[in-house]
Amino acid sequence: MNVIETKDITYHYPDGTEALEKVNFKAEKGKIVALLGPNGAGKSTLFLQFNGILRPTTGSIAVDGDLISYEKKNLMKIREKVGIVFQNPDDQLFAPTVLEDVAFGPMNLGLAEEQVEERVNEALKRVGMDGFEKKPPHHLSGGQKKRVAIAGILAMRPQIMVLDEPTSGLDPRGASQILKILYQLNQEGMTIIISTHDVDLVPLYADNVYIISEGKIIKEGSPQEVFGDVKTVRGANLRLPRIAHLMEILEKKDKMPFEKPYPLTIGEARKKILKEFEE
């Protein structure tokens, strides 16, 4: 079942620029979907359609099977189901302390204070930020801020978590911590949608990949399918994962017997190379 499905959505900015053009995007329940695209391709604009912050000029969006209706009550329900973690944590963390920020979402859901407290504690523990409750955000590092931003959404217990470039600007360890958290959440049944340009990480976690360029979806499928179409990937200002690129060079320049589909991860490459040596 698709928890998010857009049908031919087109979006024009008030000044007339076309940001999205006939976008059909589906996220299946319990999957991790990656949205790949260069800067300015329309990733963030598309994400803001998912919880009704922006309203498509034409086309429609269904969340959990129901079309979004843009009245306040329904929007609140949609935003409870679909949580968005924004790219810059400084845009999201507005409260003077971590505790107050993470409590903001659940308080808005109208929960009792004890329940809010329980959710806040749980969310902070999930992201490994327990013990930082009383800190103000400006005393945290970039990675810590990002984790608090994620906790702020987690505390609302959404079914679908949408993350805009969750690993950008983080060091490798910070990035892999975030991905580990997301992977665990997904194992527990949460649907996760991520926008990124980190092509090396995509094959590691994504079940499905979309490539968006100039407001249009130009490719979709499993990581193998998408990265198999080398021309489209490069045409969208993206590149192959390093491993796949190495395999491509070994095949084309050194005439080694690694034909398509190229392995995308270290694990796949290892298997393929070992097999080649055994023969």
Partner 1 sequence: MENTLDGYAHSNGLKNANVSFKVLFAILTMVVCLLSTSPVVPLTITILISLILIFKARIPLKFYLKFLSIPFIFGFLTFVFMAIFFGTGETWFNIGLFNLAVYKDGFNLGLLVFARVLGGFSCLAFLALTTPMTELFSVLESLRIPKIVLEIAMLMYRFIFVFLGEAENMYRSQNTRLGYGSLKNTYHSLGMLMSNLFIRTWLTGEQVYISMESRCYNGSIRTLKPQKNITPRNILMLISFESIMIIGVYLTSNLKFI
Strand spans (E) along the chain: 2-12, 18-23, 26-28, 32-36, 58-63, 66-67, 82-85, 160-164, 191-196, 208-213, 216-221
Q: Is residue 99 a contact residue for partner 1 (CB under 8 A)?
A: yes
84 binds partner 1 (CB under 8 A): yes
Neighbours of 115 (CB within 10 A): 13
Q: Does residue 130 belong to the site contacting partner 1 (CB under 8 A)?
A: no
Stretch that binds partner 1, among 15-23, 80-88, 179-187, 223-231 (CB under 8 A): 80-88
Looking up tokens 């392995």 gives 263
DSSP-derived secondary structure for 172-234? HHHHHHHHHHHHHHHHTT-EEEEEE--TTTHHHH-SEEEEEETTEEEEEE-HHHHHH-HHHHH
Provide, rounded to whole angstroms, the least separation between the CB of residue 86 and partner 1.
5
Considering the rule CB under 8 A, would residue 193 count as an interface residue with partner 1?
no
Decide: is 11 part of the binding site for partner 1 (CB under 8 A).
no
Judged by CB under 8 A, the residue of 19, 23, 48, 269 near partner 1 is: 48
Q: Are strands 66-67 and 58-63 parallel, antiparallel or unpaired?
A: antiparallel
| Candidate list 135, 157, 216, 272; residue touching partner 1; CB under 8 A | 135
| Distance in angstroms (rounded) separating the CA atoms of residues 67 and 235 | 34
Per-residue contact string for residues 153-182; x = within reach of partner 1 by CB under 8 A: x--x--------------------------
Write down the least CB distance from residue 163 to partner 1, Å: 12
73 binds partner 1 (CB under 8 A): no
Strands 191-196 and 32-36, bridge-based pairing = parallel
Decide if residue 238 touches partner 1 (CB under 8 A): no
Instruction: From 101-109, 192-200, 205-213, 234-242, give the range in contact with partner 1 by CB under 8 A.
Output: 101-109
Instruction: Identify the three-state secondary structure at position 23.
Output: strand
Question: Shortest gap between Cβ of 274 and partner 1 (angstroms)?
Answer: 47
Instruction: Name residue 7's beta-bridge partners.
Output: 60
- CA-based end-to-end distance of the chain: 43
Chain residues that interact with partner 1, rule: CB under 8 A: 48, 51, 53, 72, 76, 79-80, 83-84, 86, 88, 90-97, 99-101, 103-105, 107-109, 113, 116-117, 120, 133-139, 152-153, 156
